[in-house]
Chains A and B, each alone.
Chain A
């Protein structure tokens, strides 16, 4: 979306009506982005350089204090946990989403495809808060899952307020996005490539690894990065399902602004790091995606 902007100047040089056209077309989104993204980000950056001084402190704090605090072990641990949740969710979504997308795109009867996709998108139409609460009632010690396990004379599982619940909730929330993106990629897959691979002696598994996966790599990368980025910033699932032991970067930031430990400077610094990490991921996505597109 924001990548469209740099391509505009190339057109500007050709003629002035085109220049005007580009300006008019890009202005609404540009103003929107400037007001709600660029300026707030700059404000956060400014805030992140304001040292946290509590009454009675006798120190000479520098502007970088907020950033240095990130390197304290407890904060690093929180960031690490956030990354693990995001990576774990990405892997789970990929593992579960790929077979589903593959089946819908390549094997299911054509007339069912839209219906099947709709079934997958349906959960997105409910509030994410609602979905997390639903998981609470499923996973809590006396919830649906454990009632079922007990009735089957199996040991109960204590998942709620621990990492597994967060992973389950996040995977559930983000799986539809992964399936949709992978579907779009697999649906474009030229089936003649699979025939050509078989023709040249590749067994179906070999054709899958040598043709299907590389051909859909842009989709796999796009889906994974989208899930990763969204997962990294997810607040609701860790907050509602993770309990006190599963502090994540998003929750930590929330606490700095609205929680018990009011520290806007540190919260802003953490936010900046998160924004940077996400931007890096997006840059990777663009670069990687483009490289693949040009070879198509």
Chain B
């Protein structure tokens, strides 16, 4: 909470420069509103991710920054300058495209040099900068290859070098790792992070992969149906989601619909639609303290404690039976059916003896291990 406060203060009070700002941006395609009033302020040097399910408008938002789309309403600013009448080729932003869009008729060297040659850079300088950029992405041995002769990961690196060579104010990355297999994706994530730290350039990453966003970003904007649901640091997004959608979309969670029965500054009493009574510590994550009305309680699987006998004086304790066991290597997911009919996913280290389906199993969690979110 205090972290949120200081961060907000930093954003508003001190004059940290914003590299990219979106102000109430709307985008309508043939009567279909894809982006609905997006407000974003991306700080200088920040690694900012736009995270959301497919079709949420995240790629369109990125294209609005790049200039491939013009907003139907609102304004896009880069370094404080409105970009509304600035075509893509004059914007200080470079894009790493989904599937890279490397020019198939040009070699790796020519692809990377493209931006400099357009700018009529001196030959010696072009040579030097292309060499440097290829070295940066560890592709210096591949200058004379054509894109078709490279693997996906190598093409990815070339696309990065091509986008970085113009020394843009902001690098836009459109699902850059989406086409790579898991292992390579992890490797490239580390390299992206290293590159960002090394160059200090603002990165804006669009992804549907929450793990990617959580591990790479300074801040994340979660988008759904054309709107920004929440903007925050990875830990804010994960630990203090402000809406049921964010809680559900980021990581695994158990959600219970219910309503507030009683409120106290330090405790909320909630009864779920299926009759479970829960105590939840209120948070100001969503701005206004909740006192009444419909809520959704979110409990992360790793916050749930399991015991095989009724625990002493545990709050939020419910009895159930084991339905499935999902073996996940380092840990195990138990799917437990409560008497109320609710099914909970519980995450446990991979050490317990698996109980059989007749044994009663008791789930409990603390009031500060769950969140009440306004419906």
Q: Is the CB of B89 within 8 A of A202?
A: yes
Chain B residues in 8 Å Cβ range of A158: none
Partner of A195, one of B101, B102, B166: B101
Q: Is the CB of B103 within 8 A of A193?
A: yes
One digit per residue, 1 when the CB lies within 8 angstroms of any chain A CB and 0 when it does not, for chain B 134-151 equals 000000000000101000
Q: Is the CB of A210 within 8 A of B114?
A: yes
Q: Is the CB of A202 within 8 A of B101?
A: no
Can you name the residue of chain B whose Cβ is closest to the Cβ of A218?
A: B105
A190, A192, A214 pick with most chain B CB within 10 angstroms: A192
Q: Is the CB of B88 within 8 A of A199?
A: yes
Q: How far is the CB of A36 from chain B (nearest CB, A)?
A: 38
Partner of A193, one of B68, B88, B101, B163: B101
Q: Is the CB of B115 within 8 A of A201?
A: yes
The reply on B157 being an interface residue by CB < 8 A is no
Q: Which of B71-101 contact A (CB under 8 A)?
A: 87-90, 93-95, 97, 99, 101
> Assuming A199-B94, A200-B166, A201-B115, is B89 touching A292 (CB within 8 A)?
no
Partner of A200, one of B67, B99, B115: B115
Partner of B114, one of A192, A197, A294, A295: A197
Q: How far is the CB of B126 from chain A (nearest CB, A)?
A: 13
Chain B residues in 8 Å Cβ range of A215: 103-105
Per the bound structure, the CA–CA distance linking A131 and B242 in Å amounts to: 74
Per the bound structure, the CA–CA distance linking A200 and B94 in Å amounts to: 6
Q: Is the CB of A196 within 8 A of B105?
A: no
Total interface residues on B, using CB and 8 Å? Answer: 27
The reply on A108 being an interface residue by CB < 8 A is no
The reply on A130 being an interface residue by CB < 8 A is no
One digit per residue, 1 when the CB lies within 8 angstroms of any chain A CB and 0 when it does not, for chain B 90-134 equals 100111010101111110000000110011000000000000000
Chain A residues in 8 Å Cβ range of B163: 199
Q: Is the CB of B104 within 8 A of A200?
A: no
Q: Is the CB of A198 within 8 A of B88?
A: yes
The reply on B162 being an interface residue by CB < 8 A is yes
Chain B residues in 8 Å Cβ range of A292: 105
Q: Is the CB of B89 within 8 A of A199?
A: yes
Q: Is the CB of B118 within 8 A of A201?
A: yes
Q: Is the CB of B89 within 8 A of A196?
A: no
Can you name the residue of chain A whose Cβ is closest to the Cβ of B63?
A: A195
Per the bound structure, the CA–CA distance linking A161 and B101 in Å amounts to: 52
Per the bound structure, the CA–CA distance linking A192 and B94 in Å amounts to: 13
Q: Is the CB of B89 within 8 A of A295?
A: no
The reply on B66 being an interface residue by CB < 8 A is yes
Per the bound structure, the CA–CA distance linking A163 and B165 in Å amounts to: 53
Total interface residues on A, using CB and 8 Å? Answer: 22
Chain B residues in 8 Å Cβ range of A202: 89, 114, 118
The reply on A142 being an interface residue by CB < 8 A is no
Per the bound structure, the CA–CA distance linking A199 and B89 in Å amounts to: 5
Partner of B95, one of A190, A196, A217, A296: A196
The reply on A206 being an interface residue by CB < 8 A is yes
B67, B68, B119, B163 pick with most chain A CB within 10 angstroms: B68
Per the bound structure, the CA–CA distance linking A203 and B97 in Å amounts to: 19
> Assuming A203-B89, A206-B118, is B97 touching A295 (CB within 8 A)?
no
Q: How far is the CB of B58 from chain A (nearest CB, A)?
A: 17
The reply on A240 being an interface residue by CB < 8 A is no
The reply on A211 being an interface residue by CB < 8 A is yes
> Assuming A201-B166, A295-B146, is B101 touching A196 (CB within 8 A)?
yes
Q: Is the CB of A192 within 8 A of B89?
A: no
Per the bound structure, the CA–CA distance linking A217 and B103 in Å amounts to: 14
Per the bound structure, the CA–CA distance linking A193 and B115 in Å amounts to: 13
Q: How far is the CB of A29 from chain B (nearest CB, A)?
A: 31
Q: Is the CB of A296 within 8 A of B104?
A: yes
Q: How far is the CB of B313 from chain A (nearest CB, A)?
A: 62
Chain A residues in 8 Å Cβ range of B68: 195, 198-199
Q: How far is the CB of B88 from chain A (nearest CB, A)?
A: 4
Q: Is the CB of A192 within 8 A of B105?
A: no
Q: How far is the CB of A55 from chain B (nearest CB, A)?
A: 62
Partner of B148, one of A190, A193, A295: A295
Q: How far is the CB of B146 from chain A (nearest CB, A)?
A: 5
Chain A residues in 8 Å Cβ range of B119: 201
Per the bound structure, the CA–CA distance linking A190 and B147 in Å amounts to: 14
Can you name the residue of chain B whose Cβ is closest to the Cβ of A215?
A: B105
Per the bound structure, the CA–CA distance linking A192 and B148 in Å amounts to: 16
Q: How far is the CB of A144 from chain B (nearest CB, A)?
A: 45
> Assuming A190-B101, A211-B103, is B87 touching A200 (CB within 8 A)?
no
A-B contact pairs, 29 of them (CB 8 A): A190-B104, A192-B99, A195-B68, A195-B95, A195-B97, A196-B95, A196-B97, A196-B101, A197-B103, A198-B67, A199-B66, A199-B93, A199-B95, A200-B89, A200-B94, A200-B114, A200-B115, A201-B89, A201-B90, A201-B115, A201-B166, A202-B89, A202-B114, A206-B118, A215-B103, A215-B105, A217-B105, A295-B104, A296-B148
Chain B: residues with CB nearer than 8 A to chain A?
A: 66-68, 87-90, 93-95, 97, 99, 101-106, 114-115, 118-119, 146, 148, 162-163, 166
Chain A: residues with CB nearer than 8 A to chain B?
A: 190, 192-193, 195-203, 206, 210-211, 214-215, 217, 292, 294-296
| Given A197-B103, A198-B89, A202-B118, 9 more pairs with CB closer than 8 A | A190-B101, A193-B101, A197-B89, A198-B87, A198-B88, A199-B68, A199-B163, A200-B162, A210-B114
